[in-house]
């Protein structure tokens, strides 16, 4: 069994649609109708949502399938702290997908697992922000066009246990898993807060994933976000956003994120004498959506690496292990869509080593267009460790040139093909600084207002392929 991961190059997820103004259109990956299930709960089965591309963000909603690569988020529940009797929930779960209150009996009420964001709590569209773009706070989300996962945090486990009504209780874990590493995703939280009689209560989310931090992009009154918590700051809770419940968008700052795990808590306000009654099933139904930058790029940041480089009509792959313990071999896998993978080669591993080991493989069977690669390290016990994904594009005849470099004020870009679809300026740490969606070959990009340092120009052509240019600003 190995005791280490592969050392890999830093992968930055950046969008090819940074906004120069709040009115500019951009591409964003979002949850929409058709992204997820149409069924009702209550269920504890993991839910897979496939992101769709919104090409008209922030003021329009024109969704289409996205496959560069297909990107999914899987929502899972675990570590349930309370088990309900069948008379309250047939599956016994206290926290589940697709359920809501029942005001007439203790049996849980089914609800849509994947509703639109207007489904509960009466939030306002301005409570949400699609992505962390300059000038776009409170924009980019439609309550009827954007969808989210419904999570029901029942209080019946606390009611059954006769728990104190003013404390905060750990209920379960919520994990969001991305099928490809992402950077700086935005979570959309709808309607944390509810009540039963005089007792108000609210869900709380405590981040346990390390290496990432939370911050509020936009939100209603009552939304309180700390680096590791999403809370409702009201002292009297109810189910209406802005007057006892809270909604808003939360930026998750981090690179190469594959999972986000939250501990889900329930907190009571203590204004009642019990969490529920013998004739109802009470709890806090809230929604969680996600939006992402649209294009995944590997920026040339120099670290120990799993790298992919084109050599004519072949792909040269190099990777390094820091140490090895009982490793057997490496499967080199390729994909044309970033989703379906096949093994294109096998490389024998050193097996045991306390020092870095270097490996390489050449794929001579590349396809025209996008080619995705990953390396799977297989141990003697057949356990596996996956590298991050690298992308190469073959078959493009476009020739790009840019000058001057280094640059003091503006850089001129020329292309042998038609004018690019967009030119985006990205900082060395992956921040989106500006975009020109109407760039003409031979035009210039103004960098005069930026501090000295390294920047990247990402040029996306009309076929969806992207080339990244490195610029030194004096």
SS3 content of the chain, % helix, strand, coil (to 5): 0, 50, 50
Are both 346 and 209 inside the same structural domain?
no
CA distance 178 to 303: 23
Are both 239 and 364 inside the same structural domain?
no
Are both 116 and 180 inside the same structural domain?
yes
Q: Which pLDDT tens digits describe the chain residue by residue (474 residues)?
A: 333 333 333 333 333 333 333 334 568 999 999 999 999 999 999 999 999 999 888 888 889 998 877 899 999 999 999 999 999 999 999 999 999 999 999 999 999 999 999 999 999 999 999 988 777 788 999 999 999 999 999 999 999 999 999 899 999 999 999 988 888 899 999 999 999 999 999 999 999 998 889 999 999 999 999 999 999 999 999 999 999 999 999 999 887 788 999 999 999 999 999 999 999 999 999 999 999 987 544 333 233 467 888 887 889 998 888 766 677 888 999 987 666 789 999 999 887 776 778 889 999 988 877 788 888 888 787 767 777 677 787 765 555 677 787 888 998 888 766 667 778 888 876 677 888 878 888 888 999 999 988 888 878 776 556 677 778 888
CB 292 within 8 A of CB 71: yes
Cβ atoms within 10 Å of 304's Cβ, excluding its own: 16
Are both 31 and 90 inside the same structural domain?
yes
CA distance 249 to 288: 10
CATH code for the domain in which residue 409 is found:
2.60.40.3080
Q: Point out which residues pair with 116 in neighbouring strands.
A: 147
3 is a domain residue? no
CA distance 232 to 244: 8
CB 8 within 8 A of CB 40: no
Length of the chain: 474
Query: How confident is the model at residue 303, as a pLDDT?
Result: 31
5 is a domain residue? no
Contacts of residue 231, Cβ cutoff 8 Å, sequence gap at least 6: 202, 204, 205, 223, 224, 225, 246
Are both 280 and 315 inside the same structural domain?
no
Query: How confident is the model at residue 338, as a pLDDT?
Result: 67
Cβ atoms within 10 Å of 50's Cβ, excluding its own: 19
Query: How confident is the model at residue 398, as a pLDDT?
Result: 55
Among 342, 249, 307, 296, CA closest to 6:
307
Are both 247 and 321 inside the same structural domain?
no
Tokens of 144: 């009827």
CA distance 176 to 47: 10
Are both 445 and 337 inside the same structural domain?
no
Among 314, 331, 316, CA closest to 365:
314
Are both 74 and 134 inside the same structural domain?
yes
461 is a domain residue? yes
Cβ atoms within 10 Å of 18's Cβ, excluding its own: 25
Are both 94 and 206 inside the same structural domain?
yes
The total domain count for the chain is 3
Query: How confident is the model at residue 455, as a pLDDT?
Result: 85
Among 443, 450, 444, CA closest to 474:
450
Are both 269 and 247 inside the same structural domain?
yes
Query: How confident is the model at residue 297, as a pLDDT?
Result: 44
Query: How confident is the model at residue 102, as a pLDDT?
Result: 97
Are both 381 and 428 inside the same structural domain?
no
In the chain, the N- to C-terminal Cα span, in Å, equals 49
Among the candidates 343, 361, 394, a domain finishes at 394
Place of tokens 């999972």: 259
Query: How confident is the model at residue 401, as a pLDDT?
Result: 72
Query: How confident is the model at residue 296, as a pLDDT?
Result: 45
Strand stretches in 83-157, DSSP E? 95-97, 99-100, 109-110, 149-154
257 is a domain residue? yes
Are both 345 and 405 inside the same structural domain?
no
Structural domain that includes position 431: 400-473
Query: How confident is the model at residue 466, as a pLDDT?
Result: 67
What DSSP element (H or E) covers 458? Answer: strand 453-460
Query: How confident is the model at residue 81, as a pLDDT?
Result: 96
Among 109, 98, 156, CA closest to 287:
98
Handedness of CA 391, 395, 398, 401 (dihedral sign): positive
């Amino acid at each position: 069994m190995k005791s280490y991961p592969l050392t890999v190059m830093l992968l930055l997820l950046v969008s090819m649609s940074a906004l120069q103004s709040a009115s500019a259109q951009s591409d964003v990956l979002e949850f929409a109708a058709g992204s997820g299930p149409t069924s009702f709960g209550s269920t504890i089965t993991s839910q897979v949502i496939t992101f769709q591309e919104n090409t008209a963000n922030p003021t329009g909603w024109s969704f289409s399938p996205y496959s560069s690569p297909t990107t999914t988020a899987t929502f899972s529940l675990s570590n349930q702290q309370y088990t309900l009797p069948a008379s309250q929930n047939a599956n016994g779960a206290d926290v589940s997908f697709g359920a809501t209150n029942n005001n007439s009996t203790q049996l849980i009420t089914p609800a849509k697992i994947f509703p639109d964001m207007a489904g509960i709590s009466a939030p306002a569209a301005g409570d949400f922000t699609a992505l962390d773009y300059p000038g776009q706070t409170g924009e980019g989300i439609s309550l009827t066009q954007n969808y989210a996962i419904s999570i029901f945090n029942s209080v019946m486990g606390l009611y059954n246990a006769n728990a104190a009504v003013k404390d905060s209780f750990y209920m379960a874990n919520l994990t969001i898993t991305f099928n490809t590493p992402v950077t700086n995703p935005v979570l959309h939280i709808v309607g944390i807060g509810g009540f039963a009689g005089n007792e108000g209560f609210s869900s709380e989310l405590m981040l346990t994933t390390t290496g990432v931090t939370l911050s509020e992009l936009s939100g209603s009154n009552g939304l309180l976000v700390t680096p590791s918590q999403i809370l409702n700051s009201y002292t009297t809770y109810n189910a209406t956003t802005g007057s006892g419940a809270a909604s808003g968008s939360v930026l998750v700052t981090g690179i190469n994120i594959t999972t986000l795990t939250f501990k889900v808590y329930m907190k009571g306000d203590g204004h009642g004498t019990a969490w529920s009654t013998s004739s109802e099933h009470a709890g806090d139904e809230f929604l969680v959506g996600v939006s992402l930058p649209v294009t995944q790029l590997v920026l040339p940041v120099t670290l120990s690496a799993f790298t992919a480089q084109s050599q004519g009509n072949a792909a040269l792959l190099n990777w390094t292990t820091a140490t090895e313990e009982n490793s057997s071999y490496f499967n080199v896998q390729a994909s044309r869509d970033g989703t379906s993978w096949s093994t294109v080669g096998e490389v024998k591993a050193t097996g045991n080593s306390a020092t870095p080991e270097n490996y390489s493989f050449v794929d001579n069977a590349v396809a025209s267009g996008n080619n995705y690669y990953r390396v799977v390290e297989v141990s003697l016990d057949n356990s596996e460790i996956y590298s991050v994904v690298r992308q190469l594009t073959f078959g493009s005849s476009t020739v790009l040139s840019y000058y001057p470099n280094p640059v003091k004020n503006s850089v001129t870009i020329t292309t042998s093909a038609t004018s690019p679809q967009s030119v985006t300026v990205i900082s060395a740490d992956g921040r989106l600084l500006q975009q020109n969606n109407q760039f003409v070959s031979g035009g210039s990009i103004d960098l005069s207002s930026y501090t000295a340092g390294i920047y990247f120009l990402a040029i996306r052509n009309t076929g969806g392929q992207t080339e990244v240019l490195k610029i030194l600003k004096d």
